[in-house]
Structures are given as structure tokens and as C-alpha cells.
Amino acid sequence: MESALTQQLTELCGRARRAARTLAAVGRADKDRALRAIADRLRATAEEGARSAVLQANAADVAAAHEAGLAEALVDRLVLDEKRLGAMAAAVLEVASFDDPVGEVLGMKRRPNGLLIGQVRIPLGVIAMIYESRPNVTVDAAALCLKSGNAALLRGGKEAARSNEALGVLVREAVASAGLPADAVQVVPPLGREETRILVGLTGMIDLVIPRGGEGLIRFVAEHASVPVIQHYKGVCHLYVDQGADLDMAMRLVDNGKMSRPGVCNALECLLVHEDEASKLLPRLGALVDRGLEIRGDEATRAVLPAARPASKEDFGQEFLAPILAVRVVGSMDAALEHIAEYGSQHTEAICTPSYERAQRFLREVDASCVLVNASTRFNDGGELGLGAEIGISTTKLHAYGPMGLESLTARKWIAYGEGQIR
């Protein structure tokens, strides 16, 4: 017999599917009006400050996180304040400013039989987001799904349950005020793993699942889903400092990549240094150690930087999500590429080099969703890459690779214009 939980989730999905059919036929003006209404409410909430329902709910979540002993880097991802609410509103308005991908016609060609054939972008349908911490994801995902004509089921983590519920109310009210179905955005209560298992098994009700969070969550979703899943297990991001590199630049890239926000998936986790630069660069990392960075280095690193702790094999390939950096000295670019191939997670890789030829080789040979030359790993982000708010980062290649913006939330269907042709 179908459980009450399955019935509840099936009903949510049914409402989402009905809303998705409406959204698929809605034009840009209506969708943008809903997005502007969301932004207006976010700004009004920021102006209201601590008196607002959203910030009161968030304060309760943050207090509970501290009481539960959640790591500070993870608490930081949970916190909302007036500044972050303003940034969320700006991100929503940026999504509104982008062209609507739905209805874009691509590659129209005339066949020898006279048929005019091409493709057109269409919404995916119902997208389920399953995520941890970061309540801004609730708004980002809602905005991107609305703009791309998709209904969103948003299942956040229990640590942000109050924040997500309050933001969900805000978004649904804004969507309804713009004349669109409120059920286009629904916040699913975080009831536990059983609820997640049921949700990702609702074949025919959900068109795509995007898990966003720790490796354990993503593997659980991937193992139990019977609907398509976007996978991104972890962000093990490397910076390779090449022979002859500008060491001032290298230090800026390490500082920004590791220390700006250690708890995010595009944070630098491993530094690879060419042996010719090790004696000059590694002592300079002491300035970051003084600011709280823990370095775990191989023998060559510790010979130059005694403050480093010995690195174990497990430290390479580790997503620390904390002010911890694995460091290894390599003898060549070949060795750096081999290390990245073995320990990388196809997320973000960067090189600091003065050589155009070696930069091009790095871009060509490294398999990652974003590869950078002389720039911080922190740039692998939808906003920084010009996509606006991202719904997630895919480290698999079907159907998206890297940050997923509006186009990644559409499919293409074939269309044909004829004059009575038959086969």
C-alpha cells in the first residue's frame, strides 16, 4: 500500500506538473514580472532587517547550528543578513535581465526534400533541487527555474529548514502576485533520507534531480534515483604554479582561492609547485599560516616550510572545506598533470604560468568543468562566468558540464516545416 509520505510527495509533484504546463506557455514579460516581484520582496525584507520573518527564521537556524557544533565554514554558508539578501535580490534581477532561452530556434536547415528542419529550446518540466545549508539556493533555484519555464521542488537541509520555509513563502507570494501559479515553486519539508529516496524515485513526475551539497548526499541521491540526476560529488580544486611563474600572482591566487571562503566547492584544496619555484614560493605561505591556514605538505614542502604538517596520501584528493591546504612539489608539468588526473574531481583546475604554450597544454589536457590560466579557482561560479545565479555545478558531461545556468535547464526538441512531404 502506498505510504502517506509517498502520497504527500506525489501530490506535491502533481501540483508542480500542472504549474509546469502553465509556465511552458508563459512569455518572458510574465516571467520577468514574477522575478522582479521576488527581488522587490527580498529588498523590502533587507530593509526590515531583524524584524523580518526571513531573518528571524535564519537567526533561529544559525543558533541551532552553533548549538549542534556545526563547523564555522558551514555556519557561514547558512547565515543570511541584509547584505546577502541584497545580493540575492540583485542575482534575481540579473536573471530577469537575461534573454529567455525558451522558444529559441536553433540550426534551421533546408533538407533536399524541401523540409525545413531545426530545433527549439523547451523547459525540462519539473526540477527537484536537494541541497544542504546555503538558503540562498532556495531563491537562486526558484529564479532560474521560473525564467526557464520549469517548476521547482526545493528540498533544503534540516539545518536551514526555517530559513527555506520563510523564503519559500516570500517567493510563492511574489509569483502569485505576478499572476503565475504559486505551485511553480514549492519547498519540500526536510523529513529525512526516506523522503529523499521516495522523491527521487517518482519516475514520470520529476524530470531532473539536482543534488547540491556534501558527497554523501549526492551519492545517496545518485544511488537511489530512477530519474535523471546531475552529479557533483566534490570540489577538489588544484592550482599548479609553473616554472617561471610570477610568484606575487601565485600568492594572490592561493590567498583568494583558499582563504576568501574555505567552505565553498570552488575553494582551492591543493597547491602544486614546480620544484624550481618551491624554495622561493613556499616560505611566503607562512603569511597565510599566520592567518590561520594549516598546510599539509609532502617531504619536499616540509623541507622548505617546516611549519607544514606531514601530508598523508588521503590529504591529496581531499575536499577540506576548511582553511587547510595540501601542498606538493612536482618536478615537471607532466607530474602536475598526472597528479590532477589522479586526484582531481573534474570541478576546477588552474595554472599560474608565463608560458602561452604550457597554458594551452593545460587547457587542452586537464579534464575539468572549468580550467583557468592565471586566475583564481573561485571564478568557477555561475555569476562570475556570466550565467547569473547558478542552479548547480555539474562534474558529469550529460547533459551539462560546469555551472548550470538558464540554457542548462532547457532541452531541445526537433521541429519541421513541410509542404505535404511524405516519406
Average pLDDT over residues 274-286: 97
Collapsed DSSP state (helix, strand, coil) of residue 86: helix
Number of domains in the chain: 2
d(CA 70, CA 5): 29
Q: Which residues contact 249 (CB under 8 A, 6 or more apart)?
A: 352, 374
Contact 12, 4 (CB under 8 A): no
Residue 395 lies in a domain: no
Nearest to 203 by CA among 174, 226, 223, 230: 226
Q: Are residues 160 and 65 in the same domain?
A: yes
Residues in CB range of 142: below 8 A, 6 or more apart:
38, 152, 154, 171, 185
What's the pLDDT band for 31 if we cut at 50, 70, 90?
A: very high
Q: CA 394, CA 383: separation in Å to the nearest integer?
A: 15
Quote the percentage of the chain above a pLDDT of 70. 99
pLDDT of residue 162: 96
What amino acid occupies position 345? S
Task: Verify that 254 and 170 share a domain, yes or no.
Answer: no
Contact 78, 135 (CB under 8 A): yes
pLDDT for res 148 = 98
Asked if residue 207 and residue 245 are part of one domain, the reply reads no
Residue 392 included in any domain: no
The answer to whether residue 1 scores a pLDDT higher than 70 is: no
Query: Rounded mean pLDDT of 275-287?
Result: 97
Give the domain CATH number at 316: 3.40.309.10
Domain contains 389: no
Q: Distance between CA atoms of 356 and 34, rounded to whole angstroms? A: 46
Supply 377's cell numbers. Answer: 579557482
Q: How many CA atoms lie within 13 A of 296 on its CB side?
A: 17
Tell me the DSSP string of 42-62.
HHHHHHHGGGSHHHHHHHHHH
Q: What's residue 72's pLDDT?
A: 86
Beta-ladder partners of 403? 393
Domain around 359 = 237-379
Residues 215 and 175 grouped into a single domain: yes
Per-residue CA distances from 201 to 16, 51, 126, 341 (Å): 16, 40, 14, 33
Q: Are residues 224 and 251 in the same domain?
A: no
Q: Say whether both 56 and 201 belong to one domain.
A: yes
**Is residue 116's pLDDT more than 60?**
yes
151 forms beta bridges with 126
Asked whether residue 399 is assigned to any structural domain, the reply reads no
Residues 262 and 144 in one domain: no
| CATH code (residue 111) | 3.40.605.10
- In terms of domains, do 201 and 250 share one? no
Q: Residue 272's beta-bridge partner residues? A: 240, 328
Q: Judge if 8 and 117 occupy the same domain.
A: yes
Asked whether residue 191 carries a pLDDT value surpassing 80, the answer given is no
Residue 18 lies in a domain: yes
pLDDT of residue 382: 85
Does residue 248 share a domain with residue 169? Answer: no
Q: Which of 107, 108, 102 is nearest to 125 (CA)?
A: 102
Is the pLDDT higher at 250 or at 321? 250
Q: Is residue 38 part of a domain?
A: yes
Cell numbers at residue 149, please? 519555464
- Is residue 52 included in any domain, yes or no? yes
- The residue among 95, 107, 128, 120 whose CA lies nearest residue 24 is 120
* pLDDT over 90 (residue 212): no
Asked whether residue 68 falls in the same domain as residue 166, the answer is yes
pTM of the model: 0.87
346 conformational bin, left if phi > 0, alpha if psi -120 to 50, beta if neither:
left
pLDDT-based confidence at residue 2 (cuts at 50, 70, 90): low
Average of per-residue pLDDT across 365-372? 98
Residue 195: predicted pLDDT: 86
Percent of the chain past pLDDT 90, that is, above it, reads 86
Return the pLDDT at 304: 96
> Considering all CA atoms of the chain, what is the largest pairwise distance in Å, rounded to the nearest integer?
79
Same domain, yes or no, for 243 and 224?
no
180 assigned to some structural domain? yes
Alpha-helical runs (H) found in 247-395: 247-254, 275-281, 286-290, 299-304, 333-343, 356-365
For the segment 292-302, the average pLDDT, to the nearest whole number, is 98
